[in-house]
């Protein structure tokens, strides 16, 4: 089935054409680059993985309960709109909510793939080109994963959110080579990484937990890459040049804040989005979720040197200024550890199951009366 058949509303043309600006930059300097960036590049090569093999796609997913999280996570929970819904309609609302979230992940990852390729083209340093090439492959894998999850497990796809589309457009049409870093690596990827983390930690369903844990292992490297490259470069900029980047950050963060309200979902259920905006503001869960979404962006913006009073006032207005105290390195390290621990637990369980099968076949050979219902040659097959 075509993705177009699964969209909740028509998406029009099959492509969105964004005019590119700026130069493609070659470099004739092939000597060693920055040690930390080259180490990140090596890690990017070492950590490549195949989503077909690493993720257990046989796990079942209930489209009406994709994440297994409390209904309090829905903005209209406990309101008159919620009370009017039948149990089936509530299940459909959960499906639409999960579909909207993962659809924006999918669209954002395609934006990240295109932006990473753009960085390969435009960045002047070879070490940055090397790493961006590995990130382009990572992002392609993420698009593949989210597309498969939406099509095979949720069965519903939402068009790209207009706020996300606006930020992608601004990021890709700016001719300055650092702006794709700032728009994608810091803002879009930073918010996505935080959203992945919240959902990874609260979902009770194994397949979305696997997907998000493994994607986050890649994304932690991508945000680190943006920090390294921009921190070095922004030390060289003048006050007017830094002010332009700060304005971009402020505008982008307001766009990202407004994006998470998911107005498209409520329109499909006949609810006035403006009314839902008020519900989001009054929902303790949504306020907590919104603040956590900036847990990666705010300390990163501070770290790269865009930390004027104007930026701090904007974050204070959003209620996320305290996020500047977060330890980014600790958060990224935790993302790595969770993915590795998940692998260890999964494969240990599979090994134990395999051992039990082998032991059962060997026991059956010793005592034929206890033999399980297996075909001829089963023992040989197990030993092989």
Q: Which of 159, 9, 12, 8 is nearest to 96 (CA)?
A: 8
Of 9-23, 30-44, 354-368, the poorest mean pLDDT is in 354-368
At residue 367, does pLDDT exceed 70? Answer: no
The pLDDT, as a whole number, for residue 368 is 59
Average pLDDT over residues 189-193: 87
Measured CA to CA, the distance from residue 338 to residue 104 in angstroms comes to 23
Name the residue among 196, 185, 214 with its Cα closest to residue 303: 185
Tell me: pLDDT of 380 over 60: no
pLDDT of residue 257: 78
- Which of the residue ranges 181-190, 270-279, 365-374 would you say has the lowest mean pLDDT? 365-374
> How far is Cα 234 from Cα 307, in angstroms, rounded to an integer?
11
**pLDDT-based confidence at residue 382 (cuts at 50, 70, 90):** very low
Cα separation, 298 vs 312, in Å, equals 9
What predicted TM-score, i.e. pTM, was given to this entire model?
0.85
**Integer Cα distance of 81 and 74 in angstroms:** 11
Closest by CA position to 280, among listed 253, 295, 260, 251: 260
Contact 4, 11 (CB under 8 A): yes
Cα separation, 342 vs 203, in Å, equals: 14
Of 77-86, 114-123, 348-357, the poorest mean pLDDT is in: 348-357
> How many Cα atoms within 13 Å fall on the side-chain side of residue 270?
5
140-168 per-position pLDDT tens digit:
999 999 999 999 999 999 999 988 898 89
Is pLDDT at 351 greater than 90 in this prediction? no
Rounded to the nearest 5 degrees, what angle is found at the Cα of 249, between the Cα atoms of 243 and 250? 90
For the four alpha carbons of 340, 51, 139 and 324, in that order, the dihedral sign comes to: negative
User: How do residues 79-96 score in pLDDT, each as one tens digit?
Assistant: 899 999 999 999 999 999
Phi-psi group of 305: left, alpha or beta (phi > 0 → left; psi -120 to 50 → alpha; rest → beta):
left
φ/ψ region of 372 (left if φ > 0, alpha if ψ in -120 to 50, else beta) reads beta
CB 137 within 8 A of CB 46: no
The residue written with tokens 């435009």 in the block is: 122
DSSP 376: T
What would the two tokens of residue 89 be? 């309609």
| CA separation for the pair 72, 79 (Å, rounded) | 11
The mean pLDDT value for 313-340 works out to 91
pLDDT in tens, 292-326: 888 889 999 999 999 999 999 999 998 899 999 98
Per DSSP, the residues of 41-54 read HHHHHHT---HHHH
Q: Among 121-125, 222-226, 358-362, where is mean pLDDT lowest? A: 358-362
Q: How far apart are CA 106 and CA 335, in angstroms?
A: 20
How many other β-carbons are positioned within 10 Å of the β-carbon of residue 295? 22
Count other Cβ atoms within 10 Å, centred on residue 93: 22
Which residue in 289, 305, 160 sits closest to 226, CA to CA?
A: 305
CB 45 within 8 A of CB 144: no
């Amino acid at each position: 089935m075509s993705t177009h058949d699964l969209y909740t509303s028509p998406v029009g043309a099959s492509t969105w054409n964004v005019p590119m600006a700026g130069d493609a930059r070659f470099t004739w300097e092939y000597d060693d680059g920055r040690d930390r960036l080259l180490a990140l590049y090596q890690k990017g090569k070492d950590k490549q993985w195949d989503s077909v093999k690493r993720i257990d796609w046989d796990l079942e997913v209930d489209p009406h309960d994709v994440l297994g999280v409390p209904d309090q996570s829905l903005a209209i929970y406990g309101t008159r709109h919620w009370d009017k819904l039948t149990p089936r309609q509530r299940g459909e609302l959960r499906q639409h909510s999960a579909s909207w979230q993962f659809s924006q992940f999918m669209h954002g990852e395609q934006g990240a793939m295109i932006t990473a390729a753009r960085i390969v083209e435009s960045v002047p340093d070879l070490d940055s080109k090397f790493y961006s090439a590995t990130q382009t492959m990572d992002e392609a894998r993420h698009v593949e994963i989210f597309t498969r999850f939406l099509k095979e497990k949720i069965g519903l796809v939402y068009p790209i959110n207009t706020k996300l589309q606006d930020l992608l457009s601004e990021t890709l049409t700016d001719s300055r080579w650092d702006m794709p870093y700032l728009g994608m690596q810091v803002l879009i990827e930073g918010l996505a990484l935080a959203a992945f983390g919240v959902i990874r930690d609260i979902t009770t369903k194994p397949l979305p937990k696997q997907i998000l844990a493994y994607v986050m292992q890649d994304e932690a490297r991508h945000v680190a890459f943006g920090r390294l490259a921009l921190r070095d470069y922004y030390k060289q900029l003048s006050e007017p040049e830094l002010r332009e980047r700060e304005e971009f950050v402020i505008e982008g963060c307001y766009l990202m804040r407004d994006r998470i309200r998911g107005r498209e979902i409520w329109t499909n259920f006949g609810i006035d989005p403006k009314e839902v905006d008020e519900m989001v503001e009054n929902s303790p869960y949504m306020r907590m979720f919104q603040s956590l979404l900036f847990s990666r962006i705010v300390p990163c913006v501070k770290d790269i040197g865009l930390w004027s009073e104007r930026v701090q006032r904007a974050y204070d207005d959003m209620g996320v200024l305290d996020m500047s105290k977060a330890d980014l390195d600790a958060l990224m390290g935790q993302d790595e550890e969770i993915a590795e621990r998940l692998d260890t637990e999964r494969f240990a369980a599979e090994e134990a199951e395999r051992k039990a099968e082998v032991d059962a076949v060997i026991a059956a050979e010793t005592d034929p009366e206890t033999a399980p219902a297996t075909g001829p040659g089963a023992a040989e097959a197990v030993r092989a």
